[in-house]
Structure 1
Amino acid sequence: MYVILMYDILIDERGPKVTRNTFKICKKYLTHIQKSVFEGNLTELNLMKLKSELNGYIRKDKDSLIIFKSRSEKWLNKEFLAIEDDKTSNFF
């Protein structure tokens, strides 16, 4: 399945550590395309692993993480309004 993941981490005393670990985990499974946005194809098992690892760091009362899922990237269109980054070439 095709996944787009984005997160917002509250910057408080633990925020930098949460941000750092969240970024590393996401980078392990997906392609980093912009600040706190990642994309890529994952199996159901790898999506479960990703969410399990993130649950160890994301604070349910302070942080936000959204995962959009699609059966295939061919159902998505991408439009650039400024700099076009080739890291996002998974979209057509």
Structure 2
Amino acid sequence: MQYKINMYAIVVYDVNVSRQNQIREFLRKYLYHVQRSVFEGEISPSSLYYMKKILQSYIGETDSLIIYVLRDKSCLMDKIVLGEDKDLQIY
């Protein structure tokens, strides 16, 4: 029996306006959109590797994108959300 090992990833980015939609639409294929420039969710190691490769091609010199990778969601001690953005769907 083969077990599926997933990790938990949080992606935070600050990129040029011209690339925001491209990055947002790509990340929606893999993770949940939780704030304007924040995505999170479970992801397989192979999907994370592919996602990272594609995102590298989108990032410009003045852009910033950070991927926090946790062993799984249980490693996340707490999630505190203050305020609410009416334009976003929170999962």
Q: Give the structure-2-normalised TM-score.
A: 0.79
Specify every segment of 5 or more residues in structure 1 that has no aligned partner in the other structure, as ranges.
88-92
Q: Which structure's residues are more often helix, by fraction?
A: 1
Give 5+ residue unaligned stretches, structure 2.
1-6
State the shift of 1:68 in Å.
Answer: 0.5
Change (3 A) 1:80 1:58: same
- RMSD (Å), alpha carbons: 1.7
The match for 2:68 is: 68
Indicate the percent of aligned positions where both proteins have the same amino acid. Answer: 36
1:26 maps to 2:32: no
Aligned residues: 81
Is residue 53 of structure 2 the alignment partner of residue 47 of structure 1?
no
Counterparts of 1:41 and 1:57, CA distance in 2: 22
For normalisation by structure 1, the TM-score amounts to 0.79
Q: Which runs of 4+ in 1 moved over 2 A?
A: 80-86
